[in-house]
């Protein structure tokens, strides 16, 4: 069955509006069982994991399921050469074996409130941009204080439709989260960069964590006395399987989309922004991989960084390609032409919206001009571990340079540095960092217009022996040796910092970046663009009152519904809606680390020992549905018509890589791990039946 994707990352407190369409697609449960502020509902099992991924609670003991790539950083940080959890996997067969993950949080929505009328009623057209922003912030803070007073909850207000609507989110945030299980990367990352963003897939992209709470079942900092969290609701798991056309619903925390982006923004992305990011990330990957391939110690140190850089390196390649192929610029231009025609039909509209497109075009001229500094500073400077570590010390220099430094501020800064510096030095390799810095500084010099250089970068550009300068600067820096750093941080002085050439180059680049990107000219440009975008979206909704416009993703809880289904990526090609372990084995290549199959998995395959997780004599691995997701949805639950868990979402498809900017209804697909493959790995491969026993499984 071929189905067409239905655009929409819906706010779950508005499901009543879409309920008829959801039932038509196949839903067989009340919308009140999906989102309910007063009774246990599906939303109580959906977790924002660390603010970067989604997880779902799948047992009455706070057990969570998410993606392997979402847990990758935690798995890597707890891996050593002796206990390599990335390569071998990790399973806690007893709760006392679960590993606390410092800094990882689990946030669950308590309620969502539409506060649009409250905020907009206190704004008027006479307010300038700064006054408007300040007033919105003041009202939001009042709403947050009122919502959280006398509770242990946290809250925030988010804008939607580019500032035309506002919603208050009240959350319960847990800070004791522990790693429970993860398959080896040969399963969790099977296919690696080659298969990333591609269908067909055969990836067991999952890992497991658990929420712990205090004795009162409320959030509590890590303590050995904490107990597994008892959730208001956990998702039952259905292993009956999925069929082509089955209803599929995903709930999670999509990070960011930009579907109201104009043709001017698309042009900058295609011609300027994305090619630069691809170029820089490609070099970073090449340098890291060279050293990672030669040392297990270096591999573990850079595994998480490499995965993060690689993921969006390929994403930007794909998005640029599909923006062109799917003619997104032309589609955006057509919308703008219709908009202009509509505006010109009324003097009143001309008065309110007449300069919108002109303002957007003017803003992008400036943004495009300074895009090299924005991209190259972040990608080639700030994202390098050594540079990032140094930049955190800018505040220390600022304090030391004062005539009378504040002892209180210095003590707080030094306490912070002393607490965190060991983690930095343990996570980088000096030789690799040197290669990265030498290459990336040269790329910055070559590709950023000279009029956007910082003072010290201009000096560096004129030094012929640039690589020797960087090497000497690293050798003499207190930030590239743990021994030198420890000696410095015990008795810090401004002279040492001011004479540290590597540190001062970084500080100069940072100051230059802030001056250009956050300077008065750029701030005014961005404010003008934000205001024009707000009016543009407001006008589009007025212009097409019967059209369903969905708000951009902004890391808030959303729901998308649709169906399992095959698709045609191009003429003469049909992609089926599922893959099996037979296809996984067919891809095996013992000489390619991306396609190595673990010995035990091969043994289970040879015996066809799939247990109760098989279908038609084989084991299904992944399936696709036409749900509307993006980054941040990683790890989100895929649920059937009754709200039972049938899979875990982990990726999008190559043909719809432009989807974050323009939804592609004929092509958009979500790639999911079949829940039966996940349970098979936990049960038959890992033997972690203790985890299976916790779950509510519907056979």
Active site residue: 6, 73, 205, 660, which one? 205
**CA torsion, ordered 656, 657, 662, 663, to nearest 10 deg:** 40
Cα–Cα dist 385/440, whole Å: 13
Contacts of 508 (CB under 8 A, 6+ apart): 454, 455, 456, 457
Cα–Cα dist 663/328, whole Å: 10
* 205 among known catalytic residues: yes
Cβ distance 65 to 636 under 8 Å?
no
Cα–Cα dist 471/375, whole Å: 24
Cis peptide before 338 (omega within 30 of 0): no
Contacts of 214 (CB under 8 A, 6+ apart): 220, 223, 225, 226, 227
Residue 155 has φ and ψ, to the nearest 5°, of: -155, 160
Active site residue: 6, 59, 68, 69, which one? 69
Active site residue: 79, 140, 634, 636, which one? 634
Cα–Cα dist 226/162, whole Å: 42
Cα–Cα dist 249/640, whole Å: 6
Contacts 24+ apart (CB under 8 A), 291-300: 291/429, 291/431, 291/432, 291/435, 295/429, 296/81, 296/84, 297/81, 297/429, 298/429, 298/432, 300/76, 300/79, 300/80, 300/81, 300/84, 300/86
DSSP 287-331: HHHHHHTT-HHHHHHHHHHHHHHHHHHHHHHHHHHHHHHTTHHHH
Q: Which region, left, alpha or beta, applies to residue 544 given φ > 0 means left and ψ of -120 to 50 means alpha?
A: beta
* 424 among known catalytic residues: no
Q: Which of 168, 139, 137 is nearest to 155 (CA)?
A: 168
Q: In 153-273, which ranges are continuous DSSP H helix?
A: 185-188, 192-195, 263-268
Q: Which of 192, 184, 206 is nearest to 67 (CA)?
A: 206
Coil, strand or helix at 547: coil
Structural element, H or E, at residue 410: helix 407-427
Residue 512 has φ and ψ, to the nearest 5°, of: -65, -40
Cβ distance 277 to 312 under 8 Å?
yes
Q: Looking at the annotation, which residues are catalytic?
A: 69, 205, 634
């Amino acid at each position: 069955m071929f189905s067409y994707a239905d655009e929409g990352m819906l706010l779950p407190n508005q499901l009543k509006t879409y309920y008829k369409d959801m039932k038509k697609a196949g839903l067989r449960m009340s919308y009140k069982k999906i989102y309910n502020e007063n009774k246990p509902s599906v939303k109580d099992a959906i977790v924002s994991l660390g603010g970067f991924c989604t997880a779902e609670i799948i047992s009455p003991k706070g057990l969570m399921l998410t993606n392997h790539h979402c847990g990758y950083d935690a798995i890597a940080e707890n891996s050593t050469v002796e206990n390599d959890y990335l390569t071998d996997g990790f399973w806690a067969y007893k709760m006392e074996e679960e590993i606390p993950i410092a800094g990882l949080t689990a946030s669950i929505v308590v309620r969502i409130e539409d506060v649009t009328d409250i905020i907009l009623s206190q704004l008027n057209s006479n307010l300038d941009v700064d006054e408007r922003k300040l007033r919105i912030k003041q009202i939001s803070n009042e709403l947050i204080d009122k919502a959280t007073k006398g509770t242990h909850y946290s809250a925030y207000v988010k804008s939607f439709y580019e500032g035309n609507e506002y919603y208050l989110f009240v959350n319960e945030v847990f800070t004791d989260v522990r790693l429970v299980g993860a398959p080896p990367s040969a399963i969790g990352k099977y296919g690696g960069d080659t298969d990333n963003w591609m269908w067909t897939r055969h990836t067991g992209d999952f890992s497991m964590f658990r929420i712990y709470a205090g004795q009162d079942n409320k959030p509590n900092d890590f303590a050995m006395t904490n107990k597994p969290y008892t959730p208001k609701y956990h998702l039952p798991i259905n292993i009956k399987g999925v069929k082509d056309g089955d209803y599929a619903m995903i709930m999670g925390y999509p990070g960011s989309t930009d579907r109201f982006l104009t043709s001017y923004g698309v042009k900058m992305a295609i011609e300027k922004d994305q090619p630069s990011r691809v170029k820089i990330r490609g070099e970073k990957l090449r340098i890291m991989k060279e050293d990672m391939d030669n040392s297990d110690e270096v591999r573990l140190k850079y595994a998480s960084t490499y995965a993060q850089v690689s993921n969006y390196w390929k994403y930007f390649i794909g998005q640029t390609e599909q923006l062109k192929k799917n003619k997104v610029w032309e589609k955006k231009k057509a919308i703008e032409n219709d908009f202009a025609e509509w505006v010109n039909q009324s003097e009143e509209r001309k008065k309110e919206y007449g300069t919108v497109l002109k303002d957007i075009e003017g803003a992008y001229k400036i943004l495009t001009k300074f895009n090299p500094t924005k991209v190259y500073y972040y990608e080639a400077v700030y994202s390098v571990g050594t540079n990032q570590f140094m930049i955190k010390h800018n505040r220390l220099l600022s304090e030391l340079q004062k005539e009378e430094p504040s002892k209180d501020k210095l003590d707080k800064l030094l306490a912070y540095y002393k607490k965190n510096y060991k983690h930095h030095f343990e996570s980088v390799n000096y030789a690799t960092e040197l290669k990265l810095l030498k290459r990336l500084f040269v790329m910055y010099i070559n590709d950023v217009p000279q009029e956007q250089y910082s003072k010290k970068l201009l000096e560096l550009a004129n030094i012929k022996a640039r690589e020797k300068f960087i090497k000497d600067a690293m050798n003499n820096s207190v930030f590239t040796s743990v021994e030198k750093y420890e000696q410095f941080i015990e008795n810090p002085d401004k002279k040492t910092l001011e004479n540290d050439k590597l540190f001062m180059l970084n500080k100069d680049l940072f100051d230059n970046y802030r001056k250009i990107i956050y300077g008065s000219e750029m701030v005014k440009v961005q404010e003008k663009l934000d205001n024009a975008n707000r009016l543009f979206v407001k006008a589009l909704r007025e212009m097409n009152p019967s059209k369903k416009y969905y708000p951009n993703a902004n890391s808030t809880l959303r729901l998308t519904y649709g169906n399992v289904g095959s698709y045609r990526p191009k003429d003469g090609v049909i992609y089926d809606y599922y893959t099996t372990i037979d296809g996984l084995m067919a891809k095996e290549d013992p000489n390619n680390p991306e396609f190595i199959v673990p010995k035990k998995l091969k043994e289970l395959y040879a015996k066809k020992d799939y247990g109760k997780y098989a279908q038609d004599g084989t084991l299904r691995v992944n399936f696709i549905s036409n749900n509307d997701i993006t980054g941040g949805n990683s790890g989100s639950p895929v649920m059937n018509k009754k709200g039972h868990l049938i899979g875990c979402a982990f990726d999008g498809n190559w043909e719809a890589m432009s989807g974050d900017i323009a939804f592609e209804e004929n092509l958009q697909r979500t790639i999911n791990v079949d829940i039966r493959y996940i349970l098979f790995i936990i049960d038959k491969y890992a033997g972690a039946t203790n985890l299976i026993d916790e779950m509510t499984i519907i056979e």
